[in-house]
Amino acid sequence: MKGIIQREYFIFKHNIILYLCIWTLIPMIVYLFISIPFSFYIKLSNGINYLNWSSVGNWISTSSIITFAISMSIANRYRESANFSRTMLCTPNSNREHLSAIIIWSSGIGIIQLLFSLLITLSFKSANLFALDIFLVIIYIIPIIILISNIGFLIGLSFETQLVRIIISLFLLMFIFFSSGLFVPLNESLPSIFTLSPLYLSVQNIQSIMMNDSSMISSSFILLLIAMIIFIINLVITSKVFKS
């Protein structure tokens, strides 16, 4: 597993400028083209400023996007017979070690993106948080990042055609972001499949931290459980794809 992570780190070192640009620009793009335009039309009933409230959406969406993209990209490399990732299947590493390394690496990059997003939005004064609040926000978002990483790997390994992967990814991410109340508050009269979703409840808990309200971490544990289930599904799929 260490060798797989070292391989990804080697690739990262040769593209560090690109990563720095992505880590910096994505939060700004979300802020400029989603948060600011929406702030003119969405007024929150609790009186909180929308730009402050949407910071949570910025943190989760940016870290999830880059995690998803990296996980899916690495999974796709295992499908290419001429790729070095494919040749590493001949090493003693088990499928579980390959998958674990990919999830760890993509989640790690997503957490770095989360830190950049926090730094940038806080510098915009879009949120006022104490150190403990920031720590809690990170703890609550990490299970979401791990879940998204597993989903990205699942899509990257399940669909061979790039166009199909892109279309499915766009629809899936849009559904996840807008059905969990990241940028648009959900109406409580919506079906319980939305309002009782563990992802939505986790987002609500993070937003509660923003408003200095109490929060519960139980939904985050449920997300980790779902991530473990998808991890097992990925293991089953890898056993078939890696042998092909």
Give per-residue pLDDT as tens, 73-132: 988 887 765 555 544 555 566 778 889 999 999 999 999 999 999 999 988 865 667 888
Supply 53's token pair: 């409230």
> Mean pLDDT across the stretch 19-24?
96
pLDDT number for residue 127: 62
pLDDT number for residue 168: 92
Q: Which range has highest mean pLDDT (40-44, 90-94, 121-125, 184-188)? A: 40-44
Which amino acid appears at position 26 of this protein? I
DSSP-derived secondary structure letter, 184? S
pLDDT number for residue 11: 87
Q: Whole-angstrom distance between the N-terminal and C-terminal Cα of the chain?
A: 21
pTM metric for this prediction: 0.91
H or E segment to which residue 134 belongs: helix 131-158
DSSP 3-69: HHHHHHHHHHHTTHHHHHHHHHHHHHHHIIIIIHHHHTT---TT---HHHHTHHHHHHHHHHHHHHH
